[in-house]
Structure 1
Amino acid sequence: MKGSDGTSPSTTDAPIAVVGLSCRLPGAPDPATFRQLLRDGADAITEAPEGRWGAGADTGTDTDSGTDTDTGTGTVATRRGGFLDRDRIDHFDAAFFGISPREAAAMDPQQRLTLELTWEALEDAGIIPDRLRDSRTGVYIGVIADDYATLIRRGGPAAIDRHSFTGLHRGIIANRVSHHLGLRGPSLTLDAGQASSLAAIHLACESIRRGETSIAIAGGVHLNLAPESDVTAARFGALSPDGVTYAFDARANGFVRGEGGGVVVLKPLADALADGDPVYCVIRGSALNNDGGGDHLATPHQAAQEDLLRRAYQQAGVDPADVQYVELHGTGTKVGDPVEAAALGTVLGAARPTGAPLRVGSAKTNVGHLEGAAGVVGFIKTALGLKHGELFPSLNFRTPNPDIPLDQLNLRVQTTSEPWTADPDTPDTRKPLTAGVSSFGVGGTNCHVVLSGAPEPAVAPDAVESAPEGVSGRIPWVVSGRSEAALPAQAGWLASYAEERPELSAEDIGLSLATTRSAFEHRAVVLADDRGGLVGGVAALAEGRDAAGVVRGVVAGADGRAVLVFPGQGSQWVGMAAG
């Protein structure tokens, strides 16, 4: 039941549904390819692209000490990392978002990436963005980097223009989304160190539970554009000199930097089920705290992490013994990994039966450490695992860190891809799939989120009866784009999508296209009697070929003015539209 302002009443322990998600990660431009990368046990760590950080030049690194010795030429400590394709940073469809080319050039690419990820996540959720206008939808984005500002300011005052103030301001990253979509809910860019994006999800859930927002957009972005940020991490001693993340392994020597981002769309579970939304997983609860004074500012504190875990599972109403998997912070550092393992073993491992260890793993071994966006990467990995019933392997694990007694802690690093039923070691079909996700900031901010599998959807009566045998009906697939070039591009995407998913019915695809996608000015409809004809029609549209059943057009009167109105209430009169 919703309140009079469209928000749900406050319920402090109400479960939250993840109804949509998107990601742009090294080697994985979308959730489907990210899932495949995880299933394959692959990593996307490469040499830096040409032109990034002065790649191809001397790094100025003392290989014996692993520290940077000369950064005057803009070179860096290591060339290895998880990188997005260069085009995905440099290219942006400014017109799609109603932004001028000059303003787009002044915008931090993290702003641009967040706009794209948000749109994709809403489409994944089946939410037409325009329908959120004036709603109390909240936006919570975790970001800690401002490399683009560093690059711009190198050019001195001449490089700064009228768009630089908003273009380089980190707080605008979330605000830009709210402005573009016309959202009235909270809009926050959050910097809690490396815990930022998971803390953003935690705060988004709290806002929903308080009735402050009805839908929340949450996640994080991180781009590594300036060599100074890489040198800073290297001189701190956090980076792996050989460019490999060895989470929980004896070879652990630091993390590898990654970049990209992810966004999730959240709704109260009750609302999602009532609306018939597909649900990836359910957020049962979460907790946020700080180390509050360990040995050093950047040294993790075991007691604080244990307190975090206990409060998260208490708030979620989940018995720690029922947790089957935890997505680790897992940076592969000599100090951080043993502390994280000890806390998990004390709270979760000890609660489980002997011989049925808690499975753990880290996405940082696949795509690198996305720092401010690291938490949402682990969250999306776990959400995909819960939705598809899969446990994904954590890479680069061979021999346990001698300071991590896995057997004693009742933990096991997940090193293979396998089905995730209820409990891999003690199968019980009555148990829901249950997992945790951790993310810790260098200054001591800790966050843990408790997830479970989506409930079985209610069996709904068939809305449409099957056609009688021998009778066929034409099925429409509608496609639209903001520009003439966008229309065939969308058609090409649709053709590939349909070909890769033969299990989807033509009717379901047509219904989704007609009811869950924005309708832009340049439009086309493909009509055919069967799936093969529809796929062939959109392929022809993508290639610019004429084909039977394909109709193209541009919306007339796109300025929004009404031409004729037929209210059907008998109030018309001759000449009423003459003015």
Structure 2
Amino acid sequence: MTASTRPEPIAIISTGCRFGGSSSRSKLWDLLRSPRDVLKKIDRFNADSYYNADGHRHGATDVRHAYLIDEDYKAFDPQFFGIKPVEAECIDPVQRILLETVYEALENAGLPVESLQGSNTAFYVGIMADDYQGLMLRDIEAIPTYFATATSRSIIANRISLIALHQAVQALRSGESTVAVAGGANQILGPEVFISESKLNMLSPNGRSHMWDERANGYARGEGWAAVVLKRLDDAIRDSDHIECVIRETGTNQDGRKQMIREAYARAGLDLANPRDLPQFFEAHGTGTKAGDPIEAEAIHGAFFDPDVRPASERRDVKLNVGSIKTVVGHTEGTAGLAGAIKASLAIQNGVIPPNMHFANLSSSLKPFYGPLQITTKALPWPSLPAGVPRRASVNSFGFGGSNAHAILESYEPPVLVNGSSSGPRARAPRPLLFSADSEKSLRRTLAVQAEYLEEHVDVDLESLAWTLQARRSALPIKTWISVVMAFHSAFVPTHSLLMQWILHTWNPRTRPVLSNTYTMKLHTRERTRA
């Protein structure tokens, strides 16, 4: 396959997400790199009243725990999205939070929403449960006016989110769209799904996914919202977008798991017999079920290690780390495929293979495939690679109706720009850091989030931050700014700490329709060496 006939690479230029134990992309990575138990007692309904140790009992479930988000899911600003409050109360919270997550992803991509008006931007979403609709139907006398339009299934595409990603990739490659967003959403509000799936022996009574472990007894349900913003790679480079990673290929089929993986690699022009073309990490569906785990392991092993692609003499030299985000944040159902893709993307970007949780003793049903396939319970540095070989990860996701999806992700290395470097102290013109929001309360929250970010990321380039805030953010009505003069000096002063102090303690808005307070700080930074 020649370069001209290979499928066009697609760039992931931004990610927005919310999962149990994490409310952003960076916090999700912190959780994945150093996992902790974020399982919670279910508080969305009286879990104890539906609990019975016998999950087959009529009207009962043997599960009382799930992976739930920390924030108040009822909090929503309809005015920000131009929605009437009376209509907003009927909109499923799963869709409200999805609106917020997609907005955050677009903002992170530097794509102001107003710049997309009238554009051919595509949006695909995977979603499963409809708990909120069921809640409203429980009181037939109190069904609100906008019930039919606000909860209609026609608003969403009821598919798994990795298929949503596949469709977004196809829309970009066909020229149907220039920007595409793939999303997923899953929320837990009622007991119905727990009761139904307990009878099918799908759920883990202890609320944990023990992937490939002898304790595997079902999956743990979790909430999750995710959105990734995509462009064709050439377009992303042209537009100077930040490229998180590249989607080399995606694929879908029905029930043919090994074949799906092989076909995706073949379409990408990758030869599975060539060690350079193999993935270094595989993000499995990995639910922790006794039936599903060995079937998937056999498919992964067969795709990469069957004798027709790799003789026995070569298998000892090839190891493939396998993991699943479900062991950390649970099975987020309609969002699960995209959750796995985001985990793989973060691992590629950071050069670290995250560990699995809840793995102690390999299940006997997995032993025929273990060895070439391995699970790590501690974070590992990404394997060293020959020159020209990108970091590469595969992602699996399956729907319980038999739909399968696969994605191949790779690292992106931007071209090195060679600039002349000047010597000696120099000063830059003031560059205002512009902050805006839809209300004063939101502006205060924005400033607090920015302060937290600067505290955690002391290497942020303030000039780049100023440009991003001015040129690649929506201009909202309530504003304030600080004009920062950056002077390079050999003595280092903690500039970000000073800026954070202003954000948290100095800024004091006047109550007027548009805030225009201006502050100037002279900050000293260490001279940066430019290649």
Q: TM-score range, shorter-chain basis? A: 0.7 to 0.9
Maintained 8 Å contact 1:19/1:267: yes
- Matched with 2:222 is 258
Give the secondary structure class of the aligned counterpart of 1:331. coil
Q: 1:101 aligns with which of 85, 110, 114?
A: 85
- Matched with 1:317 is 269
- Matched with 1:269 is 233
Match status 1:77 vs 2:29: no
Cα distance in 2 for residues equivalent to 1:553 and 1:474: 26
- Matched with 1:354 is 315
- Matched with 2:520 is none
Structure 1 residues 480 and 287: CA distance shift in structure 2, 3 A: same
- Matched with 2:401 is 443
Maintained 8 Å contact 2:454/2:500: no
- Matched with 1:305 is 257
- What is the CA distance between 1:121 and its match in structure 2? 0.6
Give the secondary structure class of the aligned counterpart of 2:227. strand
Maintained 8 Å contact 2:6/2:268: no
Structure 1 length as normaliser, TM-score?
A: 0.81
- What is the CA distance between 1:160 and its match in structure 2? 2.0
Maintained 8 Å contact 1:325/1:359: yes
- Matched with 2:144 is 161
Match status 1:14 vs 2:14: no
- Matched with 1:59 is 50
Give the secondary structure class of the aligned counterpart of 1:139. strand
CA offset digits 1:355-396 (Å, max 9, x no partner): 322110010000000111110110100010111111000111
Cα distance in 2 for residues equivalent to 1:263 and 1:11: 29
- Matched with 1:7 is none
Structure 1 residues 354 and 214: CA distance shift in structure 2, 3 A: same
CA offset digits 1:54-97 (Å, max 9, x no partner): 13x34341x2x4334445xxxx431111011251x111111111
Maintained 8 Å contact 1:283/1:451: yes
Structure 2 length as normaliser, TM-score?
A: 0.88
Give the secondary structure class of the aligned counterpart of 1:448. strand
Cα distance in 2 for residues equivalent to 1:498 and 1:466: 27
- What is the CA distance between 1:420 and its match in structure 2? 1.1
Match status 1:226 vs 2:190: yes
Cα distance in 2 for residues equivalent to 1:506 and 1:430: 32
Counterpart residue type for residue 445 of structure 1: S
Q: 1:506 aligns with which of 436, 452, 462?
A: 462
Match status 1:216 vs 2:216: no
Structure 1 residues 238 and 510: CA distance shift in structure 2, 3 A: same
- What is the CA distance between 1:409 and its match in structure 2? 6.5
Give the secondary structure class of the aligned counterpart of 1:529. strand
Cα distance in 2 for residues equivalent to 1:359 and 1:48: 33
Give the secondary structure class of the aligned counterpart of 1:348. helix
Match status 1:340 vs 2:296: yes
- Matched with 2:19 is 25
Identity %: 35
- Matched with 2:519 is none
- Matched with 2:415 is 458
Cα distance in 2 for residues equivalent to 1:428 and 1:537: 42
Counterpart residue type for residue 265 of structure 2: Y
Maintained 8 Å contact 1:60/1:69: no
Structure 1 residues 43 and 503: CA distance shift in structure 2, 3 A: same
Counterpart residue type for residue 453 of structure 1: S
Cα distance in 2 for residues equivalent to 1:408 and 1:330: 14
Give the secondary structure class of the aligned counterpart of 2:286. coil
Structure 1 residues 94 and 348: CA distance shift in structure 2, 3 A: same
Cα distance in 1 for residues equivalent to 2:414 and 2:452: 28
CA offset digits 1:2-23 (Å, max 9, x no partner): xxxxxxxx98710100000011
Cα distance in 1 for residues equivalent to 2:271 and 2:37: 33
Structure 1 residues 264 and 138: CA distance shift in structure 2, 3 A: same
- Matched with 1:5 is none
- Matched with 2:528 is none
CA offset digits 1:98-143 (Å, max 9, x no partner): 1122211110011101111111111111111111111110000001
- What is the CA distance between 1:418 and its match in structure 2? 1.4
Cα distance in 1 for residues equivalent to 2:20 and 2:165: 22
Cα distance in 2 for residues equivalent to 1:462 and 1:131: 32
Structure 1 residues 104 and 532: CA distance shift in structure 2, 3 A: farther
Match status 1:149 vs 2:138: no
- What is the CA distance between 1:483 and its match in structure 2? 1.0
Counterpart residue type for residue 67 of structure 1: H
Maintained 8 Å contact 1:406/1:412: no
Q: Which runs of 4+ in 1 moved over 6 A?
A: 465-468, 550-553
Cα distance in 1 for residues equivalent to 2:369 and 2:143: 57
- What is the CA distance between 1:473 and its match in structure 2? 3.5
Maintained 8 Å contact 1:284/1:317: no
Cα distance in 1 for residues equivalent to 2:82 and 2:419: 41
Cα distance in 2 for residues equivalent to 1:60 and 1:42: 26
Aligned length: 496
Structure 1 residues 470 and 32: CA distance shift in structure 2, 3 A: closer
1:312-461 pair list within 5 angstroms = 312-320=264-272, 321=275, 322-350=278-306, 351=309, 353-355=314-316, 356-405=318-367, 410-422=372-384, 427-454=385-412, 456-460=413-417
